[in-house]
Structure 1
Amino acid sequence: MPINIPKKLPARSILEKENIFLMDPDRATSQDIRPLNILILNLMPEKERTETQLLRLLSNSPLQVYVDFIHTESYQSKNVPKSHLKQFYQTFSDIKSKHYDGMIITGAPVEHLAFEEVSYWQEITEIMKWTNTNVTSVLHICWGAQAALYYHYGITKSDRPAKISGIFNHHIIKPTCKLVRGINDEFFAPHSRNTDADYEAIDNHPDLFILDKSKNAGPFLIASKDEKHIMITGHIEYDATTLAEEYKRDLAKGLNIHMPTDYFPENNVDNAPINRWRSEGYLLFSNWLNYYVYQETPYQWT
């Protein structure tokens, strides 16, 4: 089944060229199927790119998926046209009376700040509190994962000695968990962050469990035992070239940054990176949609 997105969303033309199965609202209403309603809080600066990356992964499902986007009211992004936000986005005030089957909270370029110092932290906490009653399952990515661990479970983060950037191998340690069904015992995932959550506190928390391990990157997948919250510490949604673009951007800023680990073939920045995490991304998102959202959400919210 397709993913249902507006006809004029810029991501549509990119995904259509990739032969991704898409549908517009007019066609969807002619099918007697109850779609899954997914809400995406997009905190990334390049919103159009993130839209495409997430919609691509949500598309690989037999379920019909309808997506709403929201942005923060308390902070206005400087990297996306206001016309784009006006046409394709809402705010929390617009949707807070609704219920959603699933939600995604993205990363954000604010990890150098304490949570309470983030200009929109109060708004984020209001949204995360709302998800406890109005959303079946929430997928949190990178900073979004750290924010969820802090807000819901009181787990802090700390600065890393140096930014972690690159492709790292992970080993599944909870192979019977539905979220990793079909994923290889060893898989690769992109990471790009300057902070780490307190993994020892996560491991000792009675309501959480870690699904994998990595010697150099720490765990990639963390889940709550009630299946309400999934935390992804990296960026499985990234395109093959995203880390390269981040690296060149940081160099242009004059930052003392290392080349992304195990990323450029032969460690040569002139060699085009290869996507080695695509299949895991598709599987992870389809498992979440099926087992944590579709199988658990009510047919009708009361």
Structure 2
Amino acid sequence: MTILIERDQGISSPALVPAERDLARDPAGAELTIGLINNMPDPALKATERQFMKLLQAAAGPRRIRFHCFSLPSVKRSPEAKWHVESEYSDLKELKRGRFDGLIVTGAEPIAPELHQEPYWRDLTDLIDWARTNTRSTIWSCLAAHAAVLHLDGIARRRLPTKCHGIFACEAVTDDPLTREAPAPLKVSHSRLNELAESDLAEAGYQVLTRSAEAGVDVFVRQYASRFVFFQGHPEYDALSLQREYLRDIGRYLARERESYPHVPVSYFDAVTEERLARFEKRAKHQRHPALTNDLPALNLRADIAVGSAAAVLFRNWLQYLGAEADASVLAR
């Protein structure tokens, strides 16, 4: 399915946006074609669509965006999520038949102990190889970033002692068009169990653009025929994304689907909420039962999390880069 994203157009989901309009591609280059390979777990599938569509709409300015949703067919899905993908997404085969200015590839929920053992590994590495020469730029997010550098340069991610989960202040460490006019600091959501060491990336020729004193490397890049942009964090997350993940993990703990109780996201909830959650955690460890989720306290976020400010800058600059490349290609004809 092709979705035309225009300024001032309401967006809620692919099913509710006008699809397949019979409009010729603008020869002046005022239109960009972007693909989203959405491999996020089922509970986050539709939210991820909306987050990226809203970001692209806000960042595009006068340019129109032809937006295509895909998902790797080897990602495990529930029947409901599989139906949504099959009915609302384009077949991945269509990706290689089209012309894409940019691509966004999300991570997936880990299943196997090692990345190369994941059921979607072959599909993902084929996509990495294709994107190197068939896009102007590709964004690799979280697990997809880890998989890409493992496939391209053999850089293995490292397991963290505890999950990196929260809002982290990141600083731009080099001058790059992607971070032009970025706020200082950039506050970015991170949610991961592993990390890439900056020393490993630097040795292999990657350029780190932003980092956090607590969370480590945030954004880094590598130039091939396509400019590859890697996010260890999730700048696209909305204000409640981390809350949804945290509550999901509490539910899994109470249902005995995970052994450890989840840590509260860093710099996310206000002080009163953190105190309430600490009391709830003690109770949950003594009365471990799924019904206890009914007694979760009211949750309030900190007033200064500034979710979305980093994404607004990064995606505006990314689309400007794609637009400049597209304009240069038109002039060269």
State the TM-score, normalized to the length of structure 1. Answer: 0.86
Say yes or no: does 1:149 pair with 2:149.
Answer: yes
Unaligned 5+ residue runs, structure 2? 254-259, 275-297
* Separation (CA, whole Å) in 2 of partners of 1:108 and 1:142: 9
User: 1:98-177 alignment to 2 at 5 Å?
Assistant: 98-110=98-110, 113-174=113-174, 176-177=175-176
Partner of 1:26: 21
Say yes or no: does 1:214 pair with 2:212.
Answer: yes
Contact 1:111–1:143 (8 Å) recurs in 2: no
1:272 counterpart (269, 294, 300): 300
What letter is aligned with 1:186? P
What letter is aligned with 1:128? I
Partner of 1:18: none
* Separation (CA, whole Å) in 2 of partners of 1:197 and 1:267: 34
SS of the equivalent of 2:217 reads coil
User: 1:188-207 alignment to 2 at 5 Å?
Assistant: 188-206=187-205
Tell me which protein shows more helix as a share of its residues: 2
Kindly tell me the number of residue pairs found equivalent between the two proteins: 290
Partner of 1:37: 33
Q: Once structures 1 and 2 are overlaid, which stretch shifts more, 266-275 or 229-238? A: 266-275
* Separation (CA, whole Å) in 2 of partners of 1:59 and 1:210: 27
Contact 2:238–2:307 (8 Å) recurs in 1: no
After superposition, give the CA deviation of every residue in 1:69-124 in whole Å (9 maximum; x if it has no partner). Answer: 11122234217444422232123223222221000000211176311110010011
Change (3 A) 1:216 1:279: same
After superposition, give the CA deviation of every residue in 1:148-171 in whole Å (9 maximum; x if it has no partner). Answer: 111223211011111111111111
What letter is aligned with 1:3? I
* Separation (CA, whole Å) in 2 of partners of 1:201 and 1:30: 42
* Separation (CA, whole Å) in 2 of partners of 1:267 and 1:203: 41
* Separation (CA, whole Å) in 2 of partners of 1:57 and 1:148: 23
Give RMSD over aligned pairs.
2.9
* Separation (CA, whole Å) in 2 of partners of 1:186 and 1:214: 9
Shift of 1:10: 4.7
* Separation (CA, whole Å) in 2 of partners of 1:237 and 1:201: 26
* Separation (CA, whole Å) in 2 of partners of 1:130 and 1:190: 29
Unaligned 5+ residue runs, structure 1? 15-21
Partner of 1:282: 312
Partner of 2:238: 239
Partner of 2:77: 77
Change (3 A) 1:125 1:74: same
SS of the equivalent of 2:101 reads strand
* Separation (CA, whole Å) in 1 of partners of 2:176 and 2:25: 36
Contact 2:38–2:105 (8 Å) recurs in 1: yes
| Rg larger for | 2
Contact 1:182–1:283 (8 Å) recurs in 2: yes
Say yes or no: does 1:260 pair with 2:265.
Answer: yes
User: Identity of paired residues, percent?
Assistant: 25
After superposition, give the CA deviation of every residue in 1:26-76 in whole Å (9 maximum; x if it has no partner). Answer: 385597754211111100023111000111111121221111111122234
Contact 1:160–1:196 (8 Å) recurs in 2: yes
